[in-house]
Amino acid sequence: QLQLQESGPGLVKPSETLSLTCTVSGGSISSSSYYWGWIRQPPGKGLEWIGSIYYSGSTYYNPSLKSRVTISVDTSKNQFSLKLSSVTAADTAVYYCARFSGTLDYWGQGTLVTVSS
């Protein structure tokens, strides 16, 4: 059974860079059939796609976040990562990693990241 697990700091200071890693188990991140990516959900609000990456490294980013987002992949560790720079309180959210296969069919449990000094 495929599992995804987010990890990273739960508290980030304003203007700094948020960094999260998603570890994939029960399947290979190098499968040619899938993209991998990030979605976030501010407290009490809806879902927002951040971006996606293919195992080869090709990426798609949400246009509204593109200038601040970098998603990378490490196939040797079966992991992919998110970096979001210049964060503000508006970036406080639960961050989910997920597999994209024409739909988002597997999700991590999510990790809350709070932006506060």
Partner 1 sequence: QSVLTQPPSASGTPGQRVTISCSGSSSNIGSNTVNWYQQLPGTAPKLLIYSNNQRPSGVPDRFSGSKSGTSASLAISGLQSEDEADYYCAAWDDSLNGSWVFGGGTKLTVL
Per the listing, tokens 């495929």 go with 2
Environment class of residue 13 by beta-carbon count within 10 Å: exposed (0-12), middle (13-18) or buried (19+)? exposed
List 11, 83, 105, 114, residue binding partner 1 (CB under 8 A): 105
Q: Where in 56-95 is the site for partner 1 (CB under 8 A)?
A: 60, 62-63
Site string for partner 1, 14-53 (x = CB under 8 A): -------------------------x------xxxx--x-
Is residue 109 a contact residue for partner 1 (CB under 8 A)?
A: yes
Q: Are 91 and 38 in contact (CB under 8 A)?
A: no
Separation CA 107–CA 104 (nearest Å): 7
**Residues in contact with partner 1 by the rule CB under 8 A:** 39, 46-49, 52, 60, 62-63, 96, 100, 102-105, 107-110
